[in-house]
Chain A
Amino acid sequence: MILALTCLLGCLLAGAFFGVGSAWADSLIVTDASGNQVSASKASISGDGNVAISKDGDVALLNGATFGISSFTRQNKGTNRDVDDVYYGYRYRTVGEMSFGVVVNSSYVLVYIPQEVLDELGLDLNDKNFQQKFLVTLVKIDKAASNGGHTIEEAAASAKVFFTSSKSLVVGDYTYAFQQEIGEGAWYTTVNKPGSHDASDGALYASSGLLTPKDDTVVTEKSTGMAALREFFEDLDWAPLWVSLRTTGVAIVVIFILGLLAAWLTLRVSNKVKGLLDTIFTIPMVLPPTVCGFLLLVFFGSSSATGKWFISMGLDIVFTWPAAVIACIVVGFPMMYRTVRGAFENIDANMLDAARTLGWGEGKIFLRIMMPLAWPSIAAGTVLAFARAMGEFGCTLFFAGNTAGITQTIPLAIYFDWMGGKTDVAIFWVIVVILISFLVILFINIYSSKTQKYRKRLGE
């Protein structure tokens, strides 16, 4: 229903638009530099043909044509800006002295091709066959380069096309000049409107390129399949993976030591203190990571007294790599701490007491009894903390920022690549993360099954 309405509305609108367009086009008078009227091209732009277009959208060759287009660029905007205090009109940069120039307007499309180029290639500007081939190539390459903007194809539905070798054309109020050198080596297409300092409405956009003989027109088409995949990996920036591994790697060492110490410590203090410590150690797990990031930012940032002190001590870590590590430690630590504490609590206290009666010191008991008994849980806790730290996003973004190659970890890369329109790269990192997570869970499962075995054996 909505679709039908949309179509109806679209048709109505398009009808109205074309009607007005053709009314304008009928009264169009285009004159060249010598005052001769230029007639509209009779060539049709909708002529079909197999046009090969390069992957960068700058080279195009029509199958069977003796010439192609190279170095094509669209200038979606020009500028009214003066050059050395002289106004030259609304100017669009072209690719060089011998380039053809195209100006696209909603009611006309002007194509300028230098006579020297035509002579060199043995082409006749007024030959309908040439115009047809040129237009088909131009429309295709223009569309490929448009990236969602206006196209000649869409304009030509209501606009007429004019070919010229004259360096200037007058259409209504506007004067279009081609092949203008403004400043050393910079060539432009200009639009002027007498008495106005802003002729920007004389064109929607302009483009330029070089006409090259067929043999010199090398089209490197977009690669597909395996070649495209290889190119993807060649272009891929692996930095997020290394940053992630480096950050998490350092963080996990610190988490491991701090987690064990904290778990051991909480077992040895009075219940009141234990409750307090436990709350402090666990709270980063409960708090939203952005809150952790915010608190860290305030704590270390230049806006707080503590931050000022740290900075005066030479520790300005906000938005640096150490900040990313600290963010990982803060959010990963509770995972390690809680898992290990649970394991320590499950150890039979009698065993520890027995060791004490045998004269073992606390350190020895920790290393020789508690660690081995709790080892599967310690390993699991480490892996969990590793995974949590690896997946850290909010806190890192807040506290360490998103600098490519320094603090941009995989989760940040996924978000910013997707936001930046690089969906394929984002998908790649998503797959990498899924693989890593899979390995983590597999590791935990294998370890816990080992624990089960050990329990069973004990039971027997």
Chain B
Amino acid sequence: MKKLHVLFVAAFALALVAAFALVGCGGSSASSASGEAASSEAASSEAASSEPASAEAASSEAASSEAASSEAVEAVQLQVFAANSLQKALPEVEALYTAKTGVTFVESETGYAASGTLVETLTADPTAADILITASAGSMDDAEAGSLVDSATRQTMFKNDLVLAVAADSDLQIADVKDLATDAIASFAMGEPSAVPAGNYALQTLVSAGLATGDKAGYEFDASIADKVNDGADKVGTVATYVSSGEVDCGFVYTSDIYRYDGIKVAYTVPADMHKDIVYPGAVCAQSANADVAADFLSFCMTDADAQAVFAQYGFELA
């Protein structure tokens, strides 16, 4: 009788594994069907997948929209991992590139995380992206050290400024970083310094102003600001959201975030000498299957006049 039970358990365990396997297979066919559905409703770039099965569907879609252009060249799809601050500007430039070359891009919000997070994701799976653009030289150094990107393709792409943002309807006046220690400001937010470059620049600024000590590996806030700082935002966009929703009085974001988010405005531009230069290095990932196309896209970003206009509109200065 006991043996029977053991058999039962074993059979059940097998059934579980089989079910998982079934889901795996059934799932992939279902998702390719979803890709077809998307192309039929012409949801264009909205529908994109990293899966080969539906990438085919997506490519046929791209080919049909590009029907005018020559023979069906094997369509390339690029996955870009870019600093969170580029979330609105980059897709517009990608659309320009798609219109010009037919190369499509994976549309995924996980592709726009904090630079530190992107490098971690890429470390876990070096094939996850074709292009990496970070918001600090340090994050790119990490990626280079881990042989995640092709060093020869590394270039400085953009410059940005750090600002203190307040809600659009706020009357708060800020004339100096030291104002953060005054009673006029009850709370402020910044990115988590070790993963979010904007948070690290903010920390450097606070250190310059004498309101904090240490660096991103270990730091301590001055008593005058210690109980009003929220330094846990997972990306710079989160800081912008905190500010616009009124959860904090002000926050350290980039100038470009002012233009990409509604409901926040510049209160004070942090002098550039208070933190390291804010530069965005870009590089082609070492394991990219489409390294040539990826490199071409990077050079398109840097040299195309229309691409420059888009970046400039969002406050990114081409380096």
Identify the A interface with B (CB < 8 A). 2, 5-7, 9-10, 13-14, 73-81, 92-93, 147-150, 183, 185-186, 200, 237, 239, 246, 250, 254, 257-258, 261-262, 265, 268-270, 273, 277, 301-303, 315, 317-322, 325-326, 329, 401-406, 408, 416, 418-421
Contacts and interface: CB of A to CB of B under 8 A. Distances in A.
B101 interface: no
Contacts of A269: 5, 8-9
Given A77-B311, A239-B46, A419 B238 contact: yes
A320 B31 contact: yes
Contact of B312 (A76, A186, A239): A76
Most buried by B among A148, A186, A326: A148
Interface stretch (B70-78, B103-111, B140-148): B103-111
Interface stretch (B22-30, B205-213, B220-228, B276-284): B22-30
Contacts of A14: 173
B16 interface: yes
Contacts of B244: 421
Interface stretch (B60-68, B194-202, B263-271): B263-271
B136 interface: no
B176 to A, nearest CB: 10
B27 A149 contact: no
A186 B305 contact: yes
B171 to A, nearest CB: 6
B302 A81 contact: yes
B159 to A, nearest CB: 8
Interface string B9-51: 1001001100111011011101100100010000100111111
A207 to B, nearest CB: 10
B171 A403 contact: no
B262 interface: yes
B43 A149 contact: no
Given A6-B173, A7-B171, A93-B308, A404 B108 contact: yes
B289 interface: no
A237 B171 contact: no
A200 B108 contact: no
Given A9-B173, A321-B30, A418-B241, A254 B19 contact: yes
Contacts, number: 197
A403 B54 CA distance: 13
B12 A261 contact: yes
B24 A322 contact: yes
A149 B47 contact: no
A53 to B, nearest CB: 16
Contacts of B173: 6, 9-10, 13-14
B48 A403 contact: yes
User: What class of interface size applies to chain B in its complex with A?
Assistant: 35 or more
Contacts of A148: 165, 168, 258-259, 261-266
Interface in B232-269: 237-238, 240-241, 244, 255-256, 258-266
Contacts of A258: 15-16, 19
Given A7-B171, A73-B313, A421-B262, 17 more contacts: A6-B171, A75-B313, A76-B312, A79-B308, A148-B258, A148-B263, A149-B265, A262-B12, A265-B8, A265-B12, A269-B9, A317-B24, A319-B128, A320-B50, A322-B24, A326-B20, A405-B49
Nearest to B166: A148
A431 B165 CA distance: 30
A319 B107 CA distance: 13
A302 B125 contact: yes
Contacts of B265: 148-149
B262 A147 contact: yes
A397 B28 CA distance: 19
B242 to A, nearest CB: 10
A97 to B, nearest CB: 13
Contacts of B50: 319-320, 403
Given A148-B265, A149-B265, A186-B305, A74 B313 contact: yes
A301 B286 CA distance: 20
B27 A321 contact: yes
Interface of B: 2, 5, 8-9, 12, 15-16, 19-21, 23-24, 26-28, 30-31, 34, 38, 43, 46-51, 54, 87, 106-110, 124-125, 128, 165, 168, 171-173, 175, 183-184, 186, 237-238, 240-241, 244, 255-256, 258-266, 302, 305, 308-309, 311-319
B120 to A, nearest CB: 12
Given A78-B312, A320-B51, A326-B20, A406 B9 contact: no
Contacts of A320: 27-28, 31, 49-51
Nearest to A78: B312
A419 B241 contact: yes
A76 B51 contact: no
Contacts of B258: 147-149
Nearest to B22: A254
B49 A76 contact: no
A303 B120 CA distance: 13
Given A10-B173, A321-B51, A325-B27, A239 B43 contact: yes
9 contacts: A79-B319, A93-B308, A149-B255, A237-B43, A239-B43, A265-B12, A326-B23, A403-B108, A420-B237
A75 B306 CA distance: 12
B168 to A, nearest CB: 6
Contacts of B312: 75-79, 92-93
Contacts of B172: 6
Contact of A273 (B9, B238, B313, B315): B9
B302 A405 contact: no
List the 8 shortest-distance A-B pairs measured between CB atoms, nearest first.
A322-B27, A148-B265, A186-B305, A79-B318, A10-B173, A321-B31, A77-B317, A93-B309
A239 B109 CA distance: 14
A401 B46 contact: no
Most buried by A among B171, B261, B313: B313
A250 to B, nearest CB: 7
A200 B317 CA distance: 10
Contact of B15 (A74, A261, A402, A416): A261
A416 B110 CA distance: 10
A403 B24 contact: no
A7 B173 CA distance: 8
A295 to B, nearest CB: 14
A405 B315 contact: no
B315 A76 contact: yes
Contacts of B48: 403-406
Given A5-B183, A93-B305, A420 B87 contact: yes
Contact of A403 (B49, B168, B183, B186): B49
A77 B316 contact: yes
Contact of A322 (B23, B106, B241, B313): B23
B183 to A, nearest CB: 6
Contacts of A76: 255-256, 259, 312-315
A247 B12 CA distance: 24
A62 to B, nearest CB: 24
